[in-house]
Every structure is written in C-alpha cells, then in structure tokens.
Amino acid sequence: MPRDRAGARLVLLRTRRVQEQPGYWRLAWRRFRRNRLAVVSGFLLLAFILVALGGDVIAPHDPYEQFLRRGGEVITDPLAPRDDGTFEGPSVAHLFGTDELARDIFSRSVLGLRISLGAALFLIVIVTTVGITVGVAAAAGPRWGDELLMRMTDVAYAFPDILLIILLRSAFGDTILGRRSVVGIDVDVLLLFFAIGLTAWPTMARLVRAQLLSLREREFTTAARAMGAGPMRIAVTHWLPNATGPVIVEATFLVPRAIFAEAALSFIGVGVTPPTPSLGVLISSHFSFVSVQWTALAFPTLILATLFIVFQFFGDGLRDAMDPRTRR
Amino acid sequence: MAIYLARRLLWTFGTLFSICLITFVLMHSVPGGPFEARAGEQGVSAEFVSAQEAYYGLGDPMPEQFLRMLGNLVQGDLGLSFAQQGQHVTDLMLDKIKPSFLLGVMAFAIVVGVGIPAGTFAAVRRNTVWDYVTLGICTALAAVPSFVIAFLLLLTFSVGLDWFDVRLGRGFGDSIGSLRNGILPAVALGAPSLALLYRITRSAMIEVLEQDYIRTARAKGLAPRELYLRHALPNASLPIVTLLGPIFAGLVTGSIIIESIFGLPGIGAAFVTSVGQRDYGMIMGTTLFYATVIIFANLVVDLMYPVIDPRVRAA
C-alpha cells in the first residue's frame, strides 16, 4: 500500500512537471527576479513613473509661479547673497530651493520628469514602430526590397545625429495642426524627441532584421512554409514573437539615451525652449548660476543621473533575463 | 575582397549623395534665407538682399540650385560663405576641423588607453574591490551629462588647482604645447565612451576567462601576464573593435557641446552658428564631413573583422 502510494505520487509528480514546463516569459521573469539590482531599479523606475503621472498632486507649487519677495534692496553685486526669493537653498517650503526667477525647483523637476519620460515614451513608440516595420519588411520581403531598405538604414546611420536633429528642429515649426501642446506636452518637446527618434530607428531596424534572419533556417519556419504560410505571415506570427525580448531591451536603453540627448541639445540652445522645464532646460539654465546656488544645479542633475542608472540596470536585468545566451 | 571593397566604396558615394540631398531639402526648408535673416541689420537694405540673392542664384528653382551645388561639390568646391563674406567655405572648414579633429583623436586615445586596460583589469580581478571601484566610477561617468563633467573638471583643475587656463579654447591646436589645453575637454568628451568601452571589455573578458582553454593554459603554468594578454584579450577583441568604429566617429563628430563649454573654435560650434545664419555651404560641408568620418570609421572596423577573426570573411 505505501509502495503504491509512492508510485502514484511519482506518476503525479511526473505529469505535473510536464504540465508546469514554464514558458519563455515565466523563465525570464524568474531570472529577472533573482537579479537584485534590476528589481530595485524596477521599483525606482515605477516610483519615477508614478511621480511623473501624479505630478499635479505631488508638486506643491505651480512650476511657473514666481515666489519673489518685494521690497528688498536692489543688489548690484551678482555674487552677494540675495533675499528677493531667487536662488534660495532647499527648505521646507521649497524642497529643492528656488531658481533664478524664484520658481520652485522641486515642482519644476516633477514636471520636467513628466515631460522627459512622456516624450521618451513617444520616442519609443515611433522607433519601435518604424524599426519593426522596416526590419520585418526587409527580412520577409523580396531580395531587392531588403537591399533597398538596408541601404536606407545605411544612409540614416551615416547621417550625423546631432546635425540632423538641429536641422529638423529648425525646419519644423513648433505647432502640430495649429496646436502648441498635445496631451499636456509641448509640441516643441515632442518634435525634438521625434527628431531624436529619426536618428535612432536604423539600429532598431537592423536589430529586428538580424533577429528575424537568424530564424529563417529553423525547422519551425520550414514547417510553417510547408503548411502554406506566406513570408509576411511567417515573419509576423512566427518570427516576430521570438524577437520581442531584444526589442524590449533595446527600447529600454533608448530612454536614457533620448533624455541625455535632450539635455545636451537644450544645453547648446537647440533643444527645448525655456520656460518649459524639461530636465535638460533645468540643468542648463541653472548651469551659469552654480556659484550663486549650487543645489539648483545639483538636484536636476541628480535626477537625470538616477534615471540613467535606473534604466541602465533595469535594461541589463531585462537583457540577462530575456536573452540567456548573452548573460552578464 | 577587392570586389567587396569596391562595392563598399561605390556605395559610399551613394550614401553621401543621399545625405547631400536630404541636407539640401532640410536646410532649404528652414524658414528664411541667408540674407533675409540680416535684412533688419543696419546698412542692409532690401535692394542689397535681393541683389545678393540674385547673385548667389537663391531665387532659382530648387532642382537647378541642387544640381549646381552638386556640380561644384564634385569639384571639391563648397562655394563662398554667406555669413563670412568673401571667404571660401572649404578654407573656413579646414580652420575649424583641425581643433575638433585633434580633440576627437585625443579623446579617443584616452578612451582606448584607459577603457581597455581598466575593463581587462576589472575582469581579471572580478568581484574584488578593484572591480567595484572601477565599475562605480565608470557608471558615474556615464550617468552624468558630459557638460556637467566638463564643468566639474573646469572648476576643479582650472579654477581650484589652477593647472589649466580657464579659457582653454584659445589657440588650441596651433602648437604642440597647446595640446595640453585639450586634456580636460578630451576627458569630458570621452567620458561616456570610456564607460561604454570599459563595460564591453569587462564583459567580453569575463566571458573568455571562463573558457576551457584558459583553464588549460592556467593549468600548464602559464604566467598570468601571458595568459591575459596573449590568450584572453585577443579572443575578447571582436566586440571591442566593433565598438571602436562608432566611438571614434562619435568623438570626432560629437564635440559640439564640449566645444561650446570650453570655448573651442571647432566645427561643431560653427555648424550651430551656420544653421542660425542659413549659411548653406557651411551646413552642407559640415554634414558631409561628419558623414564621411562615420562611414569610414565603420568601414575600417568591417575590414578589421577578418584580421581579428579568420572565421569571418568579408565578402
């Protein structure tokens, strides 16, 4: 009797093991969960997104309101301490202090986070859409189409990024269909990230194409072809799901790159136009006043650096989890 | 091999032509012409503007203008600068390219000279204090925008320690001695690439060091120096070399921000100004110069592949 039970349990175990064969995503999730650095980054990222979404509730002040104190003496020495409300240090009323126009830097940073993250999301949508479309068309289409599309990516790849962005920024206006802002983000910010996206799609397209081509000689491709599936059907339903992991990883790494590009372009005056408080504008406009109030520069820079590190570790974690071949 | 090279070089012209066309369309769709922009200035009359525009043929149909420019380009002539009257764009550009190119090369030397040894070292001493310290430094270098790094360097070494002139840009590249002034800008310019190269070197080396032949080599008593430099590093070099092309191109063409913070009179700063002034010749010249650097940096890397890994055949 006990023997029978043991035997039955063994059978049960075996069948359960077969049933519970974890899929790709579950395995990836398990690997990701084990990576402590990536999990912590994931939580921080979530916190950033929540702050960006709930910005109206979290920001204590209007990001454009000036907290000037009138009646003080006019100060002629630019290095003398001021008491007109500008460049105040961190305090309870103004967590990150105030800027050169006595605006609350904390509230501006919260809005800046929303602008930068929102625009980066917009960029990801553009780059993945274009990249996947071109990559799939190149891998599954006729030979001449592949040749043509790849030559196009060559051109886009060789076009100097910053120059293209500056040219596009100058050629575009700052309205779309006569509107100055779309879903709360200024059009000039969106156009800037659109321009950055135009420089980023070739990498994505090449990645998708390479991923798909590596599947061309696999048995399941032959099986699908034998069952009469056309090249587009094979590419979209059989190949594309296998390329999801690398695409997600590449998209994750795009975000810090785009946010950095925005900061750099705003710094040389061809990015976002003040007073819109993108992170780049915050850093570059507080830059020249660092000797007056260094915290004004330090806080936005810290936010940017944290964002970068969080995305880096999160992306590393995703890559290790989703592509076991390229561990570390 | 020769056929492959010929095809690649031929296609280089195709790429440059496409870039030329795109740039032409884009720069002419920037509102306002080179002389309209100056119409408000003192001494610039409406007659002057229209006379200048007629002289440079700016009223002609766009295809005609494009073909004319292309014809001049083939002869290596970028025309006269609209902004700096009477000067040839080619002369202006050569002046500006020199400091930018020197700066890029210096930054590249720093990136390669520090990044690869540091990455190798970190991989060899994996999970020790050295590994964590270098990893921390490199992550910080990548996480802070290069203009903030530039500024901190300037504050520390020029203002605080007084090792360098604050106005570093003056006369950079004119003499050997002036190259010293390029150190800070080169470090700031190279910082993100340095971090990237470090990461790639480290992970490639870690992967190689886990291979069986490394264990064999170690077991037969090979000196660590030989082991790391002769057995491990060459086998880890493929991903490293792949990266060197884009890094070099990025350093030579990506110095706009660093130039503006250090006051270096380079080609990047000149480009930003020329877009503002609608100085078409300068815009076109800079774009083509940058594109050429990018194309050739990648071509050199592609040609290096079969040298590094005989399994890869170019054609």
pLDDT tens-digit profile of B73-122?
A: 777 777 777 766 667 777 778 888 888 888 889 999 999 999 899 988 88
Nearest-angstrom CA–CA distance, B287 and B153: 30
Phi first, then psi, for residue B110 (nearest 5°) are -65, -45
The whole-number pLDDT of residue B275 equals 79
Q: What is the mean pLDDT of residues B217-238?
A: 83
Over 70: is that where the pLDDT of A73 sits?
Answer: no
**Contact present, B147 and A290 (Cβ < 8 Å):** no
Residues 196-235 of B with CB under 8 A from A: 203, 206-207
Structure tokens at A100: 């050169």
Burial of A9 (0-12, 13-18, 19+ CB in 10 A): exposed
Q: Which of B294, B255, B247 is nearest to B108 (CA)?
A: B247
Whether B273 and chain A come into contact, CB under 8 Å, resolves to no
pLDDT of residue B113: 92
pLDDT at residue A305 in the model: 85
> For residue B236, what pLDDT is reported?
83
pLDDT value of position B314: 44
- pLDDT top residue among A139 and B176: A139
- Which segments of chain B are extended strands (E)? none
Query: CB of A100 within 8 A of CB of A87?
Result: yes
Q: Do A283 and B287 touch (CB under 8 A)?
A: no
* Residues A301 and B145: beta-carbon distance below 8 Å: yes
Cα B157 to its chain centre, rounded Å, is: 25
**Confidence (pLDDT) at A83:** 62
Task: Give rounded-to-5 percent helix, strand, coil for chain B.
Answer: 75, 0, 25
Q: What are phi and psi of B80, to 5 degrees?
A: -90, 150
CA atoms B161, B166, B169, B175: torsion sign: negative
Per residue in A192-224, pLDDT tens? 888 888 888 888 888 888 888 888 778 888 888
- Closest approach of chain A CAs to the CA of B176, in angstroms? 29
- What amino acid occupies position B114? V
Region of residue A327 (left: phi > 0; alpha: psi -120 to 50; beta: else): beta
Q: In a 10 Å sphere around its CB, with 0-12 CB exposed, 13-18 middle and 19+ buried, how is residue B100 labelled?
A: buried
Surface of A (9-68) touching B: CB under 8 A: none
Question: What is the distance between the alpha carbons of residues B2 and A191, in angstroms, rounded to a whole number?
Answer: 44
Residue B29: the pLDDT is: 77
CA angle A21, A25, A26 (to 5 degrees): 50
Encode pLDDT of A219-238 as tens digits: 888 888 888 888 888 888 88
One-character DSSP codes across A59-106 = -SS-TT---PPTTPPPP--TTS---SSTT----SSSTT-B-TT--BHH
CA B114, distance to chain mean position in Å, is 18
Look at residues A141, A155, A144 and name the one whose alpha carbon lies nearest to residue A212. A141
Question: Does A326 have pLDDT greater than 60?
Answer: no
Tell whether B275 is within 8 A of chain A (Cβ): yes
Would you put residue B278 in left (φ > 0), alpha (ψ -120 to 50) or beta? Answer: left
Q: How far is A162 from chain B (nearest CA, A)?
A: 8
For CA atoms B16, B19, B21, B27, give the dihedral sign: negative
**pLDDT of the residue at B109:** 93
* Residue of B26, B254, B271 with shortest CB distance to A171: B26
Residue of A nearest to B284 (CA): A163
Contact B307, B314 (CB under 8 A): no
Q: Are A154 and B17 in contact (CB under 8 A)?
A: no
Mutate to test the interface with B, among A41, A161, A268 (most CBs of B within 10 A): A268
Structural domain boundaries of chain B?
31-71, 94-278
CB atoms within 10 A of CB A314: 26
- List alpha helices for B85-182, DSSP H: 89-124, 129-143, 146-153
**Highest mean pLDDT pick, A37-41, A78-82, A271-275, B78-82:** A37-41
- A328 touches B: beta carbon within 8 Å: yes
Bigger pLDDT: A62 vs B149 = B149
What count of other Cβ atoms lies within 10 Å of the Cβ of residue A206? 18
| pLDDT for position A1 | 45
Number of Cβ within a 10 Å radius of residue A84: 17
Distance from CA of A131 to the nearest CA of B (A): 20
Q: Which region among A4-18, A226-240, A310-324 has the lowest average model confidence (pLDDT)?
A: A4-18
* CB contact (8 A) between residue A151 and residue B203: no
Three-class secondary structure of residue A185 per DSSP: strand
* pLDDT beyond 60 at A324: no
What gap in Å lies between CA A40 and CA B25, rounded to an integer? Answer: 47
Q: Fold for domain B94-278?
A: MetI-like fold (1.10.3720)
Tokens of A158: 């060789």
* Residue with tokens 């599947």, as numbered in its chain: A215
pLDDT score at B99:
84
What's the mean pLDDT in A161-185?
A: 71
Residue A186's H or E segment, with its range, is strand A185-186
- For B248-283, letters b (16+ CB in 10 Å) and e give bbbbbbbbbbbbbbbebbbbbbbbbebbebbbbbbb
Q: Give the pLDDT confidence of A102-158 residue by residue, as tens digits.
A: 777 788 888 888 888 888 888 888 899 999 888 888 888 788 888 888 888 888 888
d(CA B33, CA B39): 10
- Of B180 and B39, the structure prediction assigns the larger pLDDT to B180
Reported as a single tens digit per residue, the pLDDT across B3-30 is 888 888 888 888 888 888 888 888 887 7
Please tell me if residue B21 touches chain A, with a CB cutoff of 8 Å: no
Is the ipTM, as predicted for this complex, more than 0.85? no
Structure tokens at B30: 């920037």
Tell me which residue of B25, B8, B98, B27 sits closest to B295, measured CA to CA: B8
Paired tokens of B289: 């110069």
